[in-house]
Amino acid sequence: MENIFDYRLDQLEDYFLSINEKKFKATQIYDWLYKKQVFDFTQMTNLKKDLIIKLQETFTINSLEIIKKQTDKDTKKYLFKLADENFVESVLMYHDYGVSICVSSQVGCNMGCAFCESGRLKKVRNLKTHEMVEQILLVTQDIKERISSVVIMGIGEPFDNYDNVMNFIKIINNDKGLAIGARHITVSTCGIIPKIKMLMAEPLQINLAISLHAPNNALRSKLMKINKIYDIDNLIATLKEYIKKTNRRVTIEYVTLNGVNDSRECALELAHLLKGMNAYVNLIPYNETNNLGFKKSSKQTILEFYDTLKKQKINVTIRREFGSKIDAACGQLRSKEVDA
């Protein structure tokens, strides 16, 4: 059986045509699933009985289960059990401008970034489209509030699961579904260049974030194995091409690690690298974990790093610290569950 949350609207329309039904049935189903959030075909009162039976025979609906939830002032963290007993996480954050969710795209991650708890546990498999859609739906049901923005930055490298992630984005972006605006959807990659090039060709106005975390190849290769394949020079050249082609700004994620990448020299080098680019830097205070040797930079050091970038006319923000009390470093809930 297939999961109905794997289906884009156009795919569902094709399905109804293939069973000699009118294609507007797809819009009706989308309305039940995404607007009314009814996850039981028998409660879809405008469908005929024989169609309900056909749908029950063809599709499953829910497959994820929330098994743990941690709540802080402005953060909720969810641990989901998948149908095959694997685990993934989502983090919900309350901002002044609305509610955002950070979703996972893989079970584990093979990118092996040295500071990352998610990557400590290797990739088991890609998430299917419906498993990403369901993270949003289950959390929406839990908080009883609309989620207005989505970041694909949880466990996994989204571009290592490109097709399912793109399908997921098209589903949640659809007006007839969750209608999350493209400008409120961000995909974050460690820098897989061929997939950045593929994204340039997609007719989607989503945001691109790059996990850079170091301003030169020597340091970046130590922190992020991917840099040995796609180095900084090629990555920056690709981003310039992306910006030119899409006319969109790129976000540079930079997690500050005490004594590793947070010096004034690093800030100057980063400014030099990004000079003239339509990019802004998001400085992320590190969430320490027990399993990896890195420490967070002091507030003072982060502020100095910020000032140095500002003086070099680089757009920069410091990300508010979310949920450091509740294992919010991505991957911590799951690794506790797996290690246990």
Which residues of the chain form contacts with ligand SF4 (CB under 6 A)?
109, 111-113, 116, 118-119, 155-157, 190, 211
Amino acid at 227: N
Q: How far is the CB of 160 from ligand SF4 (least distance, A)?
A: 8
The residue (of 160 and 262) whose beta carbon lies closer to ligand SF4 is: 160
**CA within 13 Å, CB half, 308:** 18
The residue (of 135 and 308) whose beta carbon lies closer to ligand SF4 is: 135
Residue 50 CB contacts under 8 Å (≥ 6 apart), including other chains: none
Please give the helix or strand (H or E) that residue 309 lies within, else none.
Answer: helix 299-311
The residue (of 13 and 253) whose beta carbon lies closer to ligand SF4 is: 253
Backbone angles phi, psi at 185, to 5 degrees: -120, 125
The residue (of 38 and 124) whose beta carbon lies closer to ligand SF4 is: 124
Q: How far is the CB of 240 from ligand SF4 (least distance, A)?
A: 22
Positions marked catalytic? 89, 330
Q: How far is the CB of 116 from ligand SF4 (least distance, A)?
A: 3
The residue (of 190 and 271) whose beta carbon lies closer to ligand SF4 is: 190
Q: How far is the CB of 234 from ligand SF4 (least distance, A)?
A: 17
Q: How far is the CB of 190 from ligand SF4 (least distance, A)?
A: 4
Amino acid at 29: I
- Bridge partners of 125, per DSSP, are 107
137 vs 6, 32, 93, 172, CA distance in Å?
Answer: 13, 12, 15, 10
Q: Distance (Å, rounded) from C-alpha 272 to C-alpha 294?
A: 26
Q: What is the number of the residue whose Cβ is closest to ligand SF4?
A: 119
Contact 26, 13 (CB under 8 A): yes
Contacts 24+ apart (CB under 8 A), 122-126: 123/156, 123/160, 124/86, 125/86, 126/156, 126/160, 126/161, 126/164
